[in-house]
């Protein structure tokens, strides 16, 4: 009976999805969504690679069970080598969880005030950021500052930059007055990292390494492609381009296992005091997705199952974002059916 209900719900969801796909999305994504679920996760990731992606890694950590990798596809097109489940991957905006956790620790230590102003912490550049004397640290974390997103700037592109990123943040008109609206902006977290550096007197990654990563034994998380040998990193590709994009510096890199350990610790409050747990809960999210050229990622904790599921996909472009979300949905259906 339960199986019949589940199948009916999937059929109804499929009809709704197919209707939206007809008008808004490529048919391929809809057809993939409606395919019968695979019997195993390995079969499912193999099927996903057939949709035109280079590689995929799914890491599952369910409390009380041995964590498991499921991977398929190529690590590199030229060498035609199989994807390495434990290779480094660019996690993009998942990094915001680490930065938000670091600010929480600094608040707990009394070194940062959430309602302190941007102008207090970065006085040398505050005159070049509109409303800097009204933008709080909390607003930066919660994307309510009104500071424009530098990745939307006309001079920004996802490849090699010919300008300093801060040049795309400074001297820009605000999108809105502080705390009057919400707009996701990578500029907020670029400034958060600079505040961490200013407060601690060291690169922001050093503080995160000491307070978050080292206590968890996470030795496979880095802050720049320039910090690691590139052969440790999965190659990333964009539809329509043959070039391997792993040499581009797009911030944090980590393994699926390291991200999973961090995400569980974040959700369980492992590295927080009771006070810090309350601060973080009021401040930011407990899971995230990520996208940079050639790399897409999803990191989520599922409380009901007490399970962390990390998904890395090494191809971007066209409808790959939709396919990636569909895969995650199918992975969860398979896991829950078990």
Q: Specify the pLDDT at position 27.
A: 60
Q: Specify the pLDDT at position 3.
A: 43
Enumerate long-range contacts of 8-11, CB under 8 Å, 24 or more apart. 10/333
Q: Are 238 and 294 in contact (CB under 8 A)?
A: yes
- Averaged pLDDT of the chain: 91
Q: Specify the pLDDT at position 30.
A: 76
Alpha helices in 109-184, H assignment, sequence order: 118-121, 123-126, 137-141
pTM above threshold 0.85: yes
pLDDT in tens, 39-59: 999 999 999 999 999 999 999
pLDDT in tens, 194-226: 999 999 999 999 999 999 999 999 999 999 999
pLDDT in tens, 62-109: 999 999 999 999 999 999 999 999 999 999 999 999 999 999 999 999
CA angle 117, 119, 121 (to 5 degrees): 80
Residue 26: pLDDT band with limits 50, 70, 90: low
Cβ neighbours of residue 170 under 8 Å, at least 6 residues apart? Answer: 125, 128, 129
Identify any residues that bridge with 69 across adjacent strands, giving them in sequence order. Answer: 59
Identify any residues that bridge with 233 across adjacent strands, giving them in sequence order. Answer: 88
Residue 154: pLDDT band with limits 50, 70, 90: confident
Q: Which whole number is the average pLDDT over 161-184?
A: 92
Q: Which whole number is the average pLDDT over 156-176?
A: 85
Q: Which whole number is the average pLDDT over 1-9?
A: 41
Residue 184: pLDDT band with limits 50, 70, 90: very high
Q: Specify the pLDDT at position 16.
A: 35
Q: Specify the pLDDT at position 160.
A: 63
3-state secondary structure of 35: coil
pLDDT in tens, 273-284: 999 999 999 999
CA–CA separation, 318 and 311 (whole Å): 19
């Amino acid at each position: 009976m339960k199986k019949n209900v589940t199948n009916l719900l999937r059929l109804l969801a499929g009809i709704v999805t197919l209707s939206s796909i007809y008008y808004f999305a490529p048919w391929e994504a809809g057809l993939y969504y409606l395919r019968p679920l695979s019997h195993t996760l390995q079969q499912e990731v193999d099927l996903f690679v057939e949709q035109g992606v280079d590689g995929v890694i799914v890491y599952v950590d369910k409390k009380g069970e041995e964590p498991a990798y499921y991977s398929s596809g190529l690590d590199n097109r030229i060498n035609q080598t199989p994807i390495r489940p434990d290779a480094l991957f660019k996690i993009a905006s998942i990094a915001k969880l680490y930065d938000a956790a670091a600010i929480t620790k600094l608040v707990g230590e009394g070194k940062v005030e959430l309602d302190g102003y941007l102008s207090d912490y970065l006085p040398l550049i505050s005159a070049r950021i509109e409303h800097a004397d009204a933008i709080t640290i909390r607003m930066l974390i919660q994307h309510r500052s009104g500071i424009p997103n530098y990745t939307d700037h006309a001079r920004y592109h996802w490849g090699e930059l010919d300008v300093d990123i801060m040049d795309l943040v400074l001297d820009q008109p605000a999108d809105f007055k502080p705390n009057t609206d919400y707009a996701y902006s990578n500029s907020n977290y670029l400034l958060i990292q600079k505040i961490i550096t200013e407060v601690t007197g060291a690169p922001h990654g050093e503080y995160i390494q000491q307070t978050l990563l080292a206590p968890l034994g996470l030795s496979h998380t880095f802050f720049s492609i320039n910090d690691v040998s590139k052969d440790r990193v999965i190659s990333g590709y964009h539809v329509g381009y043959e070039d391997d994009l792993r040499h581009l510096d797009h911030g944090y890199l980590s393994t699926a296992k390291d991200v999973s350990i961090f995400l569980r610790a974040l959700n369980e409050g492992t590295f927080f005091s009771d006070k810090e747990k309350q601060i973080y809960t009021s401040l930011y999210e407990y899971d995230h997705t990520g996208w940079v050229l050639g790399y897409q990622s999803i990191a989520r904790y599922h409380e009901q199952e007490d399970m962390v599921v990390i998904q890395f996909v090494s191809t971007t472009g066209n409808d790959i974002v939709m396919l990636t979300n569909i895969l995650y949905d199918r992975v969860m259906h398979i896991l829950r059916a078990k």
